[in-house]
Amino acid sequence: MNSLIAILRPLFSFQNPRAWILFTVLFIQILLFINLRSFPTSISRPHHQFPSRRAVIQTAATQNAMVLDSYSKSTPTTTTNDDQCASGKVFVYDLPKFFNQEILDNCDNLNPWSSRCDALSNDGLGQSATGLAGIIPKNLLPAWYWTDQFVLEIIFHKRILNHKCRTLEPESAAAFYIPSYVGLAVGKYLWMNTSTTKDCDHHCEMMLTWLQEQPYYKKSNGWDHFITMGRITWDFRRAKDEDWGSSCINKPGLRNITRLIIERNPWDYFDVGVPYPTGFHPNSSSDVTLWQSFVRDRRRTSLFCFVGAPRRAFKNDFRAILLNQCRDSDGSCRIVDCAGSQCADGTSAITETFLDSDFCLQPRGDSFTRRSIFDCMIAGSIPVFFWRRTAYLQYQNFLPNEPRSYSVYIDRNAVINGTSVVKAVLESYTKEEVKKMREKVIEYIPRMVYAKYNKGIEGIKDAFDYAIDGVLTRFKEQLQPEFHKWK
């Protein structure tokens, strides 16, 4: 090594910083090479005692492939399941069919108006969105479905059974998943005027009765258990008999269980917001990148759009104000009027409108969130919010942390009293600013979609992967001595 330095020395002036960098890199590589040569056996034969050290050395070796070319080629890259599941493994309860499969078998009878069998077909993705032919690239058509917004429970169940960190041994699990379709089960009772509070709570009560017999539930008081709830949190929080919904979340048995839910109560630690299912279900990383370039290159003809219907029953409805501003915008705003049922489960008009607009208005609906937020962003349109609870306090890990990097926030009171005009606010953004925000939205598309294939997307993490990583990280944090499990 000394001789090597002696050879190199005349080549560089050490006042030159580039020479220093070069020298440092070379030095590290030489050190690494020497280091590796002194541990040949621990690398070349399968060795399970020090997997992490071996993994580190292997990574380093690959990065230094120039120096160690022949070496890294002869080393098999074996990553074991354990390496990938550093945050722990998930056990999936094998619940009685009453809690999931029977609900699907009953799809004819899940809401008071019509059959839901089409909506729940294709493992919950719904019918193929053939109506998008001619609007989106032909080779992406197989990735689009008319997916219902309330099918989260089916999507998660299907995916988690195939998760790389699923374990069949409860004693080795860090997390326990309860595949109970509580949202689908309560759906019809929410709307039938003949249903009782008992009807609304039946499924949830049965589930808790079953769960409270389980040894691992008893052991943790539910802290390491989680469930998906495919409807908004307010559908499960009935406090008084005459109120709306089921009282599932208020039941003591559910107290310590983490709930992955499409709209959370921002003040409840156990509610974790996850994206609403939308129509785009890519099956490969090329589906994802093709779609990203499609929405990036799209020529957008309107400044903004409004998809929705005013609630005429409410006085001074904010949506009516927005709808009027949209109508008065001299062609800068496009409207898809969803009065009636024409927007249920998506129509091509919605996708096309988002694809054609720079911004989309996202006022609160009956609740704070709407599926439309995700329909909009997946189409590469920039969301405009009027309530902080619509997205910023909802979808941590799935949306960028900095609201201004991907969205516009307009004070609704200023719109109501006439000081803010939406069109003027949006026109004040330069082309460059719009492009930058759109790029942020596009970057986050993978985190907002649910893959088509039940093994996920090779090489890309989707919303489901982020959700499960989040759960495992949270349960790991709960094991830290400084974490206090409150009552």
Shortest reach from residue 414's CB to ligand NAG, in Å = 4
Place of tokens 């008992």: 198
Structure token digits, residue 364: 């609160």
CA–CA gap between residue 9 and residue 159 (Å, rounded) = 58
CA–CA gap between residue 295 and residue 293 (Å, rounded) = 6
Does residue 253 interact with ligand NAG by CB under 6 A?
A: yes
Shortest reach from residue 195's CB to ligand NAG, in Å = 10
Closest residue to ligand NAG: CB criterion: 413
β pairing state of 333-337 and 302-308: parallel
DSSP state of 240: S
Q: Which of residues 194-233 bind ligand NAG (CB under 6 A)?
A: 194, 221-222
Which lies closer to ligand NAG via its Cβ, residue 402 or residue 411? 411
Shortest reach from residue 412's CB to ligand NAG, in Å = 8
Count CA atoms within 13 Å of residue 408 on its CB side: 25
Q: Is 334 helix (H, G, I), strand (E, B) or coil?
A: strand
Which lies closer to ligand NAG via its Cβ, residue 255 or residue 404? 255
Does residue 312 interact with ligand NAG by CB under 6 A?
A: no
Q: Which stretch binds ligand NAG (CB under 6 A): 113-121, 123-131, 247-255, 300-308?
A: 247-255
Does residue 193 interact with ligand NAG by CB under 6 A?
A: yes
Q: Is 77 exposed, middle or buried (0-12, 13-18, 19+ CB in 10 A)?
A: exposed
Figure out which of the listed residues 46, 252, 340, 481 binds ligand NAG, where binding follows CB under 6 A.
252
CA–CA gap between residue 44 and residue 52 (Å, rounded) = 15
Q: Which of residues 169-188 bind ligand NAG (CB under 6 A)?
A: none
Which lies closer to ligand NAG via its Cβ, residue 106 or residue 420? 420
Other beta carbons within 10 Å of 171: 8
The b-or-e profile of 447-478 (16+ CB within 10 A means b, else e) is bbbbbbeeebbeebebbbbbbbebbbebbbeb
Bridge partners (DSSP) listed for residue 359: 304, 382
Shortest reach from residue 212's CB to ligand NAG, in Å = 9
CA–CA gap between residue 39 and residue 37 (Å, rounded) = 6
Draw the binding track, 109-148, toward ligand NAG (x: CB under 6 A; -: no contact).
Answer: ----------------------------------------
CA–CA gap between residue 305 and residue 323 (Å, rounded) = 9
Which lies closer to ligand NAG via its Cβ, residue 267 or residue 486? 486
Which lies closer to ligand NAG via its Cβ, residue 122 or residue 367? 122
Shortest reach from residue 217's CB to ligand NAG, in Å = 8
Which lies closer to ligand NAG via its Cβ, residue 75 or residue 122? 122
Q: Is 357 helix (H, G, I), strand (E, B) or coil?
A: strand
Q: Does the CA dihedral 167-170-172-178 come out positive or negative? A: positive
Which lies closer to ligand NAG via its Cβ, residue 202 or residue 251? 251
Does residue 283 interact with ligand NAG by CB under 6 A?
A: yes
Count CA atoms within 13 Å of residue 385 on its CB side: 20
Does residue 318 interact with ligand NAG by CB under 6 A?
A: no
Place of tokens 């904010």: 318
Shortest reach from residue 205's CB to ligand NAG, in Å = 14
Does residue 484 interact with ligand NAG by CB under 6 A?
A: no
Draw the binding track, 394-433, toward ligand NAG (x: CB under 6 A; -: no contact).
Answer: -----------------x-xx--x-x--------------
Largest Cα separation within the chain, whole Å, is 92
Bridge partners (DSSP) listed for residue 248: none
Q: Which of residues 435-454 bind ligand NAG (CB under 6 A)?
A: 452-453
Shortest reach from residue 452's CB to ligand NAG, in Å = 5
Figure out which of the listed residues 167, 256, 329, 357 binds ligand NAG, where binding follows CB under 6 A.
256
Q: Which stretch binds ligand NAG (CB under 6 A): 47-55, 62-70, 103-111, 253-261?
A: 253-261
Figure out which of the listed residues 29, 101, 284, 289 binds ligand NAG, where binding follows CB under 6 A.
284
Which lies closer to ligand NAG via its Cβ, residue 252 or residue 481? 252
What is the H or E stretch that residue 319 is in? helix 318-327
Which lies closer to ligand NAG via its Cβ, residue 42 or residue 221? 221
CA–CA gap between residue 132 and residue 140 (Å, rounded) = 10
Closest CA to 290 of 380, 178, 220: 380
The residues binding ligand NAG (CB under 6 A) are 193-194, 221-222, 252-253, 255-256, 283-284, 411, 413-414, 417, 419, 452-453, 458, 485, 487
